[in-house]
Amino acid sequence: MMRTLAIGGFLTAVLLFAAVEGAARREGSRIPPLGEVCAFVMRYEVGPVPVGRIGLFGFWWWLGWHFLAR
């Protein structure tokens, strides 16, 4: 029962990601695509340090290591 709930919850999240991305790609949409949101986050800098870029790269690197190396 709890397992089904977990699978359902994660599946819902994945479908919601796809739905929002789909809505963002429609003509004249006010929702930015995920790539644009990432690009905006990566603009964040503290002085000369590209904190947003380092943070997002680090997160993505960790995600790959977590799923693909362990």
Partner 1 sequence: MDRPRELTAEVPRAWDRPVVSVPMLICLSLVGGQLPSFSAQANLYTLGTGGALIWLGLSNRVPRRPAPRRLAPGAVWWLVPVTVFGVFEGATFALSVGDEFPTFSRLADPLLEDHLVRSTAWFAWLAAFWGLVRR
Binding site for partner 1 (CB under 8 A): 2-3, 5-7, 9-10, 12-14, 16-17, 19-20, 23-24, 29-32, 34-40, 42-43, 50, 53-54, 56-58, 60-61, 63-70
Residue 49, strand partner residues: 46
> Cβ closer to partner 1: 2 or 46?
2
> Which has the closest alpha carbon to 38: 51, 50, 15, 56?
56
Question: Phi and psi of 46, rounded to 5°?
Answer: -115, 105
> Cβ closer to partner 1: 5 or 46?
5
